[in-house]
Structure 1
Amino acid sequence: MDDVRSREWDAIVIGTGVGGGTAGRRLTESGLSVLYLEKGPDLGDEALSALEIETRDPETRLSRGAWPRLLEAELDGAWCELDGMIGAGVGGTSAYYAATLERPERHDLDTGTGHPHPTGGWPVGYDEMQPWFQLAERYFHINGEVDPLAPNGAELLAPVLPLPESDAALMLDLRRAGMHPYRTHMAARFLPGCESCFGRRCPRRCKMDGRSAGVLPALESGRAALLDRCSVTRIQADGTRVEGVTCRRDGQEFTLRAKRYVLAAGGLGSPSLLLRSGSEAWPEGLGNRSGLVGRNLMFHLSEIIAIWTGQGQQRGEESRSISLRDLYFMDGQRFGTVQSMGLSAGFGEILHALNGRFDQSPLRRLRPLRHGMRIPAMVAARMLGRAKLFVGVLEDLPYAQNRVLPDADDPDRLRFHYDISDELRSRRAAFRKAMRKAFRPHRAMFMGAAPQLNFAHPCGTLRFGDDPRTSVLDRDCRLHGVENLYVADSSFMPTSNGVNPSLTIAANALRVADAVAAGLRLAAGGGLGY
């Protein structure tokens, strides 16, 4: 511990999720010394289920790799607490994710193509990102089938998981209906039974996440160290340089120093830390001269639909096998990917969905009628069997009023304000209509009536761009006005795109790491004489 605290590192990486873990590994591969700082514990290869923890106790939550406090949100003007599935442990949220890693579309990144929002452009286009997408796909062992609508896209390994018979039949039905399904792109190695770890911590490291694909290879290089249960409370910056980070561990407060700093605390955590790190030179928060730190918060909307295929699906056949992008960008509207969830629905799930519809209907005040929903749910379950669950990932767009709300006194408190825009509500209705049409003639039912934000996908709160007046980071994701602080998590994204953001985060983290290494080489006169 003393050696870690006393030395100056080439780079300190704050956070060990997909972004931080990947960036740190790439830096060690460039010959640099790296110190990882992680708020939560290193749980090793301990197998734990998903982050839905039935307790509010901060220590218990943290001991299981969950953020210690529930999120506090002002949603459409109403305050609430919610469990946003935010991780706090080595691997971050990715230790529990479902490992679906897909590239965005070319038009997502290329400025001026299909973006209805005036500030939606990316300063780095698809072709410039391509080498890092390819590298991230190798780091994370991405396997699946090439999307037939993007034949020159991802470079993939063969699918790890066998295709269930009922999924094969559904894919054939979709093709007959003019759709273009393909095997979902998954981050997993070739180990039997690896499907059991999607959505939970993997004890065998077959699922590739921020820990298994990033932190562990970095530590094995001998050029990296890890401090877990280490809370970074403040970034110390005077003028144009970060001088150190204030940390708290085991009741002690201390400062750590490096030549470069990579912030990867997540789409909510990173802006919160910057806003807490104000100084005389940065009275509104570090890097916040534009007033945009924490603003333009985006999530995805999740539209879950149950599909009865008529193929006699039973429990145990569920797999995350099918994706399709036919609805990704339709009639000038930005929708997103549709994917199987690896889950099925029976009586309980159908009843829950029907009750939700009842609660949104004009009959909701007649509460005794709600009990009658059990009858159609039971009839549907008996007549139709178990349904396959699919989720539509609906792109969110940036609005400055959707923002992180800092708490100067409590680093464990993540708060935000979010209003669902009229534009998003309208686009959601069109997306649901398109999803139902895509699965015809199969019976289908949406599993929720109200919009469902995916709180595990916060992004956009430190957007990158070429103009310091309209962005927080430059094109290398270095904080405008601060020469040695970079960001490598989802907060850099100007738009959320229509896919899970993990592969984009990983690819950009590799790009950022290369920029950090190049800057250090330049500062050292072309050598790595550290």
Structure 2
Amino acid sequence: MESYDVIIIGTGAGGGTLARHLAPSGKRVLLLERGSWLPREPANWSAADVFIDNRYISPDTWYDSGGKPFQPQVHYFVGGATKLYGAALYRLRREDFGELRHHDGISPAWPIGYEQMEPYYTLAEQLYQVHGARGEDPTEPPASADYPFPAVSHEPRIQQLSDDLAKAGYHPFHAPCGIRLNEANMPYSVCVRCTSCDGFPCPLHAKSDAEVFGVRPALEHPNVTLLTSAHVIRLETNPQGTAVTTVVVEHEGHEERYAADIVVVSAGAANSAKLLLRSANDKHPNGLANGSDQVGRNYMFHDSQAVLALSKEPNPTVFQKTLGVNDFYFRGPDFDYPMGNIQMIGKSQADMFRGEKPIATMLAPTWALADVARHAVDFWLSTEDLPLPENRVTLTEDGNVRLTYRQSNPTAADRLYHQLKSMLGHLGMHSGHLFHRWAYMKSEIPVAGVAHQAGTCRFGTDPAASVLDTDCRAHELDNLYVVDTSFFPSIGAVNPALTAMANALRVGDHLLRRLGAATGATTAAGPGGTR
């Protein structure tokens, strides 16, 4: 059985970033990725392939609380979910690290404060080449450095919207975007600001994803090995149950076994919980690291609404995801509770409507859908999903994911939607013609839209109420860590990817110290070569 210093299971925002951070240490690192390299092909830019044919969605079957099967919108590729994310790289607000009272419940405090995460947010922004502008967002937390690159400029229609919002007394800001533009003076592909970014793969490798900025730079080091099509099916421990001794992998039709001094799980909140639950043994009868009965609980994925607003004038914007509004993040008019974040999403295309609402659009001519898209301005509303113990991942009899979920913060989500309608009604939008697009890709957002999943292995200081300690090490096993968004005790109301990246760097420094290697070895150099 081959042995390594560190095995990392999963190559997304957490695992891919951690691999890059550990790579310069010289320690032997094995990356295990369930999927393969996402092919660079014309279909990357095809709305029909991505939204109608679901070309890049996993064929997994999960089950809801009633046993009904569904296809989760998960992606198994090198780079994980970041291969199709919109690369909106927000920091959580400073207040998100403390307890926040919502209309429908409590968002609990983190066991660490924003100040402990801040240096790693700064490093993550540098590594992922985030474009932004400090000082525009009234809720922005303090930062020790400016963004590494200036904000992505608004196209004329979005600039008009920004100006109108500012005149109305709001505080629109340039959204932090992880893309590669010409001002970086890079000797490789750069973003052409196409419509196919949010929800699409980027064949130019111009999106700041974990393959391009995490895995590829890590693989430039000879001590790092990547094994693709490697599905980890269980973890085995020593007889005492105090350490993981073996990682069992299905690889190309046969079983393989690997060992490491340190094992890091980063398979996504649902699948990380699934792996720990499937690894139950005599010493851990309810699942590995699950003496607290918290593994799989407190599942969160944002109470999100994609809203298409029809403008009186055409919206010829190509790259639309450049603007955000956080005026209602902590409270709203006549509502003294948090409401959430408003940001733009990728520009509508006719084939997106067919993919998201196939029955409703079955008889609609393409020209009519195209005309709707031509006048659409598209918004993404995120309200904090509160952690509820009963919202959880469990296993079916055959070991598949069963996801039990109910909406946790509906009042705030409804308020935010009506606030957007009210706001747009004074800015030349048809407030009576707002259409919900209940998911990025399909209509099953209450169960299947799992893009921002988090919380199933929360960290904390009390082993009876959490799975991980503040270093994201399992309370019950000396060498087991989790660095995807499973560790979140709460999710805030902004995209979680940058927090996962920053935390992976924070945990990476801890692991480097544990391994006796120097910390701070990672630089803000550009990514590795293309494939």
Give the corresponding residue for 1:437.
Answer: 422
- CA deviations on 1:327-384 (whole Å, 9 max, x unpaired) are 111044222211111223789959x99x98xxxxxxxxxxxxx99x989x979969x9
- In 2, Cα distance between equivalents of 1:47 and 1:244: 40
Flag the 1:374–1:48 CA change in 2: closer, same or farther, 3 A. closer
- Deviates further, 384-393 or 497-506: 384-393
Where in structure 2 are the equivalents of 1:60-209 lying within 5 Å? 66-74=57-65, 78-111=66-99, 117=105, 120-146=108-134, 147-150=136-139, 153=142, 155-159=146-150, 161-190=152-181, 191-195=190-194, 196-209=196-209
In the TM superposition, residue 87 of structure 1 has moved relative to its aligned partner by: 1.1
- In 1, Cα distance between equivalents of 2:436 and 2:388: 25
- In 1, Cα distance between equivalents of 2:326 and 2:101: 17
Give the corresponding residue for 1:426.
Answer: 411
Give the corresponding residue for 1:414.
Answer: 401
Partner SS, residue 510 of structure 1: helix
Letter in 2 for 1:293: V
Residue 351 (structure 2) pairs with residue 343 (structure 1)? no
Letter in 2 for 1:431: L
In the TM superposition, residue 112 of structure 1 has moved relative to its aligned partner by: 5.8
Query: Is 2:261–2:479's contact at 8 Å kept on the other side of the alignment?
Result: yes
Residue 517 (structure 2) pairs with residue 515 (structure 1)? no
Letter in 2 for 1:137: E
- CA deviations on 1:78-123 (whole Å, 9 max, x unpaired) are 5433333211111111111111111111111134677974571100
Give the corresponding residue for 2:326.
Answer: 325
Relative to the length of structure 2, the TM-score reads: 0.83
Query: Is 1:169–1:311's contact at 8 Å kept on the other side of the alignment?
Result: no
Query: Is 1:38–1:228's contact at 8 Å kept on the other side of the alignment?
Result: yes
Residue of structure 2 aligned with 1:263, choices 262, 265, 268: 265
Query: Which sections of structure 1, spanning at least 5 residues, go unmatched?
Result: 56-60, 357-369, 525-530
Give the corresponding residue for 2:187.
Answer: none
Query: Which sections of structure 2, spanning at least 5 residues, go unmatched?
Result: 182-189, 439-443, 519-531
Flag the 1:182–1:42 CA change in 2: closer, same or farther, 3 A. same
Residue 296 (structure 2) pairs with residue 294 (structure 1)? yes
- In 1, Cα distance between equivalents of 2:321 and 2:52: 26
Flag the 1:255–1:116 CA change in 2: closer, same or farther, 3 A. same
Letter in 2 for 1:176: K
Query: Is 1:318–1:344's contact at 8 Å kept on the other side of the alignment?
Result: no
Residue of structure 2 aligned with 1:501, choices 496, 499, 508: 496
- In 2, Cα distance between equivalents of 1:347 and 1:458: 26
- In 2, Cα distance between equivalents of 1:512 and 1:261: 13
- Deviates further, 225-234 or 46-55: 46-55
Flag the 1:428–1:79 CA change in 2: closer, same or farther, 3 A. farther
Number of equivalent positions: 487
More helix by share: 1
Letter in 2 for 1:193: V
In the TM superposition, residue 46 of structure 1 has moved relative to its aligned partner by: 4.7
Letter in 1 for 2:395: P
Query: Is 1:141–1:187's contact at 8 Å kept on the other side of the alignment?
Result: yes
- In 2, Cα distance between equivalents of 1:457 and 1:348: 20
- Deviates further, 329-338 or 151-160: 151-160
Query: Is 2:302–2:382's contact at 8 Å kept on the other side of the alignment?
Result: yes
Where in structure 2 are the equivalents of 1:352-363 lying within 5 Å? none
Flag the 1:184–1:256 CA change in 2: closer, same or farther, 3 A. same
- In 2, Cα distance between equivalents of 1:321 and 1:435: 17
- In 2, Cα distance between equivalents of 1:211 and 1:173: 38
Partner SS, residue 35 of structure 1: strand
Letter in 2 for 1:29: P
- Deviates further, 429-438 or 123-132: 429-438
- In 2, Cα distance between equivalents of 1:268 and 1:235: 16
Letter in 2 for 1:418: Y
- In 2, Cα distance between equivalents of 1:43 and 1:449: 27
Query: Is 1:96–1:198's contact at 8 Å kept on the other side of the alignment?
Result: yes
- In 1, Cα distance between equivalents of 2:352 and 2:18: 43
Give the corresponding residue for 1:247.
Answer: 249
How high is the sequence identity, in percent, across the aligned residues?
Answer: 33
Query: Is 2:455–2:487's contact at 8 Å kept on the other side of the alignment?
Result: yes
Query: Is 2:310–2:434's contact at 8 Å kept on the other side of the alignment?
Result: no
Letter in 1 for 2:323: I
Letter in 2 for 1:19: G
In the TM superposition, residue 326 of structure 1 has moved relative to its aligned partner by: 0.8
Flag the 1:173–1:150 CA change in 2: closer, same or farther, 3 A. same
Give the corresponding residue for 1:14.
Answer: 9
Residue 459 (structure 2) pairs with residue 469 (structure 1)? no
Give the corresponding residue for 2:392.
Answer: 403
- In 2, Cα distance between equivalents of 1:119 and 1:179: 26
Residue of structure 1 aligned with 2:375, choices 366, 381, 386: 386
Give the corresponding residue for 1:274.
Answer: 276
In the TM superposition, residue 447 of structure 1 has moved relative to its aligned partner by: 2.1
- In 2, Cα distance between equivalents of 1:490 and 1:189: 25
- CA deviations on 1:205-226 (whole Å, 9 max, x unpaired) are 2111111111100001222100
- In 1, Cα distance between equivalents of 2:248 and 2:368: 57
Relative to the length of structure 1, the TM-score reads: 0.83
Partner SS, residue 348 of structure 2: strand
- Deviates further, 486-495 or 42-51: 42-51
- CA deviations on 1:189-220 (whole Å, 9 max, x unpaired) are 12241544442222222111111111100001
Letter in 2 for 1:401: E
- In 1, Cα distance between equivalents of 2:452 and 2:342: 16
In the TM superposition, residue 23 of structure 1 has moved relative to its aligned partner by: 0.8
In the TM superposition, residue 514 of structure 1 has moved relative to its aligned partner by: 1.3
Residue of structure 2 aligned with 1:459, choices 450, 454, 459: 454
- Deviates further, 384-393 or 453-462: 384-393
Query: Is 1:41–1:65's contact at 8 Å kept on the other side of the alignment?
Result: no
In the TM superposition, residue 160 of structure 1 has moved relative to its aligned partner by: 6.7
- In 1, Cα distance between equivalents of 2:140 and 2:52: 44
- In 2, Cα distance between equivalents of 1:399 and 1:26: 33
- In 2, Cα distance between equivalents of 1:417 and 1:292: 14
- Deviates further, 148-157 or 186-195: 148-157
Partner SS, residue 10 of structure 1: strand
Give the corresponding residue for 1:366.
Answer: none
Partner SS, residue 157 of structure 2: helix
In the TM superposition, residue 30 of structure 1 has moved relative to its aligned partner by: 3.2
Partner SS, residue 168 of structure 1: helix
Query: Is 1:47–1:201's contact at 8 Å kept on the other side of the alignment?
Result: no
